[in-house]
Amino acid sequence: MKKTIAFIVIVIFAVNTNAQVTLTSSNLPIVIINTSGQNIPDEPKITATMGVIYNGEGKRNNITDPFNNYNGKIGIEIRGHSSQMFPKKQYSVELRDDSGNSFNASLIGLPSENDWVFNANYTDKTLLRNVLAYKLGNTLGMYATRTKFFELIINNQYMGIYILQERIKRDRNRVNITKMETTDISGDALTGGYIIHIDRIDPGDKYFVSNYPSVYPSVPRLPSPIYYLIRVPNKTDLQPAQLAYIKEYVGKFETSLTKTTFNDPFEGYYSFIDVDSFVDYFLASEFTKATDAYRLSAFLHKDRDSKNGKLAFGPMWDYDLSFGLADYNNSWLPSGWVAQTNPWEGTISPPFWIKKIFSDPVIFNKIAKRWHTIKETVFDPQLLMKYLDEQALYLTEARNRNFAKWPDLFNTNVYVWPNKYRFSNYNDELAYFKNWVYQRYDWMNKNLPAAYSDIDWKQPGKRWLLYQAGKTIKLPMSLFYGTVKNITSVSFVSKNSGAEFSVLGDSLSITSSSFGEVIFKGLAKNGSTVVSISPEYRINLATNVKDESRLHSEYYLEQNYPNPFNPTTVISYKLQAANHVTLKVYDILGTEIVTLVDEYKSAGNHSTLFALSSSFASGVYFYRLTSGSFSETKKLTIMK
């Protein structure tokens, strides 16, 4: 959110006065820092001491109370880009032990960690925009930094209300992805976990530059580059192989969006990103109409491939220039999509692929569905107003001190970048914020169609089916989806060139020219437009071998008479060599029903009793023997 225009800085500071305010008692926690006369720099962190007075929720905190929440050393530096122009600075704080090493501790009831942000929220005169945005993110179900208000004193100088925030880090209580070690340079270990973000670059940052420019340049400027900064692993531990991997992964994702096949079910960008995380990130960014959305402080993370590690969006970060505050890019208007802003003011624009993904009917349909599913809970204006009123009431006492310290914030003759409007008091500022939220809700509700399409895709599972090459097998469509809304047709496509699919009534017919695994997806259309794509389904087509010439003389598998049977039968098998053996029974849809054998067996002849339970229904079932590389499936029939 940096806007380096000299006259703005002059206007901000020409009138500003730094008043002296005395704090003796507060309903907020109190944080006291002593730097022993050192100035706090941009970087590196200096060593200081910090005490936190926090007597619990709803209890008063007095300046004379003991440091009962934290009492020890810290490292502290000024943080931010644009915010450094303001007189009320924000800080990065690291908790340290007596030896100067970082260590974890809980602050004001938040989960234990060592890295924290003290957010000044100078530009946002309500002090509530970041807090509300992060609340929305957490309510949506994606991690967003937790927050606590407190009052800050540095070197006996009252500094005002601050917001304690968790810094974005890999942690089980923050971004819960796999921790990478310096030795993770190959295989699955190399694939995660990473935290990256789109932002400006600073000296010493580890980053890579996109092969593609951003979009919406203001004439006569050229499109700005897209910088991907590596946050995790940190710049000290990041290995060349790790940097190369995540750069290549993001590069493939971006390249997929430059092709005409960008939304192909198998070759498109869906293979690279967590689509649901994009939908929630989009809704949060657009509802707040964050000026920096997608282009600055835009975080993404990726876990290992073995943990379904696609590129996921979030956590949310830096939402003080939101909810109608800023005076550029039409940010103050409660209408319009940030993702479609064109042209873009300033030198930094969003990645080209934001608009491309938003234009995909599959994604737009998901966004509309998600909105109308949760709009009366997560985004309900009445609930949000209640929350804002509660927070404003909570801050009443402390905010009087804060604005006494920084009186120019409500001086209508002073422009504080980048506020669109100037108000003379807190209540008017809050009223504008709340009215804007109502208008934004109404606009989004009208522009995300309630007549969205929906199909209840069933989650995939590996299926083993009795099959003969070149023949056709029919499966019920209920195996793949349930209820539908505004869907006119469903079809299926496969990665396998030899597989053909046809839908007739409530059945799906599959014909394959060979045995083995068939990978396919369902496509749901509304008219001629694909509006939903299923998860990936896999069916392994196994054969029921009856030709004696194809049987291995060293192995056999058979069910003893009778067939059909009830209530018991004996399954016999022969092993060429000792090995671990499994013998399992599946239903007609390939779902595993029971395991009869799962143990080490010697070479030779064996048999096991298969006794029916009350849960078995009449019908066709399959039993499958696996021993080392040998595997065979056969059919049996139960008759009750």
Q: Judge whether 314 lies within some domain.
A: yes
Whether 320 maps to a domain, the answer reads yes
User: What does each C-alpha distance from 171 to 148, 237, 273 come to in angstroms?
Assistant: 19, 16, 21
Range among 140-149, 547-556, 604-613 with highest mean pLDDT value: 140-149
For range 253-265, the mean pLDDT: 96
Q: Which two tokens stand for residue 110?
A: 């938040």
**Interatomic CA distance for residues 499 and 493, integer angstroms:** 9
Is 172 a domain residue? no
- Tell me the pLDDT band of 464, cut-offs 50, 70 and 90: low
Q: What are the C-alpha distances in Å from 179 to residues 165, 183, 476?
A: 22, 11, 43
Distance of alpha carbon 434 from alpha carbon 381, whole angstroms: 9
Give the type of residue at 242. Q
Q: What is the pLDDT of residue 605?
A: 86
Tokens 């304690």 — which residue? Answer: 164
Q: How far apart are CA 51 and CA 71, in angstroms?
A: 4
pLDDT tier at 550 (50, 70, 90 boundaries)? Answer: very low
Q: Name 111's Cβ contacts closer than 8 Å, sequence gap at least 6.
A: 146, 166, 171, 173, 174
73 and 130 fall within a common domain: yes
* Same domain (yes/no): 499, 569: no
Higher pLDDT, 538 or 372: 372
579 versus 414: the higher-pLDDT residue is 414
Is the per-residue pLDDT at 3 higher than 50? no
Return d(Cα 388, Cα 126) in angstroms, integer.
10
pTM, full prediction: 0.82
Number of domains in the chain: 4
Give yes or no: residues 104 and 43 share one domain.
yes
Is pLDDT of 62 > 90?
Answer: yes
Residue range 170-225, pLDDT digits in tens: 999 999 999 999 999 999 999 999 999 999 998 899 999 999 988 755 555 567 78
Helix segments in 59-217, DSSP class H: 129-140
pLDDT of residue 66: 98
Q: Kindly report which listed range (151-155, 430-434, 501-505, 535-539) carries the lowest average pLDDT score.
A: 535-539
At residue 161, does pLDDT exceed 70? yes
Q: What is the pLDDT of residues 474-531, one digit of tens each?
A: 888 988 999 999 999 999 999 888 889 999 989 999 888 777 778 899 999 999 999 9
CA end-to-end span of the chain: 72
**507 shares its domain with 553:** no
Q: How far is CA 51 from the centre of its chain?
A: 35
- Determine phi and psi for 461, rounding to 5 degrees: -155, 150
Whether residue 148 sits in one domain with residue 16: yes
> Does residue 381 fall inside a structural domain?
no
CATH number at residue 496: 2.60.40.10
Q: Going by DSSP bridges, is the β-strand pair 30-34/147-154 parallel, antiparallel, or unpaired?
A: parallel
Establish if 529 belongs to a structural domain: yes
Please indicate, yes or no, whether residues 535 and 576 belong to a single structural domain of this protein.
Answer: no
Task: Write b or e for each residue in 464-486: b if 16 or more Cβ atoms lie within 10 A of its Cβ, otherwise e.
Answer: bbbbeeeeeeebebebbbeeeee
Please tell me the predicted confidence (pLDDT) of residue 365. Answer: 97
My answer on whether 208 and 352 are in the same domain is: yes
Determine the Cα–Cα distance for residues 381 and 435; give it in Å rounded to an integer: 10
Residue 426 lies in a domain: no
User: Are 531 and 565 contained in the same domain?
Assistant: no
Q: Does residue 28 have a pLDDT over 70?
A: yes
| 3-class SS string, 327-392 | CCCCCCCCCCCHHHCCCCCCCCCCCHHHHHHHCCHHHHHHHHHHHHHHCCCCCCHHHHHHHHHHHH
Task: Say what the pLDDT of residue 533 is.
Answer: 97
In a shared domain, residues 15 and 97: yes
Residue 432 within a domain: no
| In a domain? residue 180 | no
In terms of residue numbers, what domain contains 209?
Answer: 187-374
Chosen domain end from 319, 340, 374: 374
Mean of pLDDT values over 80-90: 90
Question: Is a pLDDT exceeding 80 seen at residue 344?
Answer: no
- CATH number of the domain enclosing 566: 2.60.40.1930
